[in-house]
Amino acid sequence: MDFGFNLKSVTQLLSANALLSGWGSAGSEQHSKCAALKQTLRIENTTIVDARFLAAGSRVKVGKLCPEQQSQKFYAPTSLCRVQFVTKTSESSGIRAEAWLPEEWYGRFMGVGNGGLGGCIGYDDLSYGSSFHFASVGSNNGHDGNSGEDFLNNPEVIEDFAHRSIHVEAVVGKQIVEAYYGHQHQKSYYLGCSTGGRQGTQEALRYPADFDGIIAGAPATDFNHLIHWTGMLSRHTGAPDPTSPAFLSASEWDLVSKEILKQCDALDGVEDGIITEPDTCLFRPEALICRPGQIDDCLFPAQIAALRKIYSPLYSDGKLIYPRFDPGAELTYRQFIWGGQFPEYPRDWLQYVVLNHTTFDFSKYGPKQGKRIEAINAGGIATFSGDLAAFRDRGGKFLTYHGRMDGLIASGNSKRMYDLVSATLSMPSLDSFYRLFLVPGLAHCTGGIGSPNFGQRSYDVTHGVNASSHNLLLALVDWVENGKAPDEMIGTSYDGQTERAHCRYPFRSVRNAEQTAWICVQ
pLDDT (tens digit per residue) in 456-492: 987 667 665 678 999 999 999 999 999 999 999 999 9
Between the alpha carbon of residue 120 and those of residues 20, 64, 161, 195, 233, the distances in Å are 30, 11, 12, 12, 26
- Give yes or no for residue 7 having a pLDDT over 50: no
CA distance 342 to 329: 19
Check whether 244 has a pLDDT greater than 50.
yes
CA atoms within 13 A on the CB side of 283: 30
Split at pLDDT 50, 70, 90, the class of 18 is very low
Q: Compute the distance between CA of residue 395 and CA of residue 392 in angstroms, rounded to an integer.
A: 5
Instruction: List Cβ<8 Å contacts ≥24 apart for 469-474.
Output: 472/215, 472/399, 472/401, 472/437, 473/128, 473/132, 473/189, 473/191, 473/215, 474/5, 474/6, 474/132
What percent of the chain is predicted at pLDDT more than 90?
Answer: 86
- CA contacts within 13 A on the Cβ side of 514: 2
Contact between 112 and 196 (Cβ < 8 Å): yes
Q: CB of 154 within 8 A of CB of 100? A: no
Question: How does pLDDT run across 249-294, given as a tens digit for each residue?
Answer: 999 999 999 999 999 999 999 999 999 999 999 999 999 999 999 9
Q: What pLDDT, in 10s, does the model give residues 157-176?
A: 999 999 999 999 999 999 99
- What whole-number distance in Å separates Cα of residue 173 and Cα of residue 445? 25
User: Does 10 have pLDDT greater than 60?
Assistant: no
**Contact by Cβ (8 Å): 344, 458:** no
The pTM of the full predicted model, rounded to 2 decimals, is 0.93
Q: What is the band of 377 on the pLDDT scale with cuts at 50, 70, 90? A: very high
Mean pLDDT score across all residues of the chain: 93
**Catalytic amino acids?**
194, 406, 444
Q: With respect to CATH, is domain 10-220+381-521 assigned 3.40.250.10?
A: no
Query: Which pLDDT does position 201 carry in this prediction?
Result: 99
**Residues 218, 139 contacting (CB under 8 angstroms):** no
407 neighbors 331 (Cβ within 8 angstroms) = yes
320: exposed, middle or buried (C-beta count within 10 Å: 0-12, 13-18, 19+)?
exposed
pLDDT score, position 69: 85
Backbone phi, psi, residue 128, to 5°? -60, -50
Question: Which residue type is seen at 9?
Answer: S
Tell me the per-residue pLDDT of 85-127, one tens digit each, with 9 for 90 and over. Answer: 999 999 999 999 999 999 999 999 999 999 999 889 999 999 9
Q: At residue 184, what is the residue type? A: Q
**Calpha distance 188→170 (Å, rounded):** 9
Residue range(s) occupied by CATH 3.40.50.1820 in the chain: 10-220+381-521
Helices vs. strands in the chain: H and E counts, helices first: 15, 17
Angle in degrees, 0-180, between the axes of helices 223-236 and 367-376, rounded to the nearest 10: 170
In order of 184, 208, 255, 505, the CA distances from 441 in angstroms are: 40, 32, 19, 16
Place 13 in a pLDDT band, splitting at 50, 70 and 90.
very low
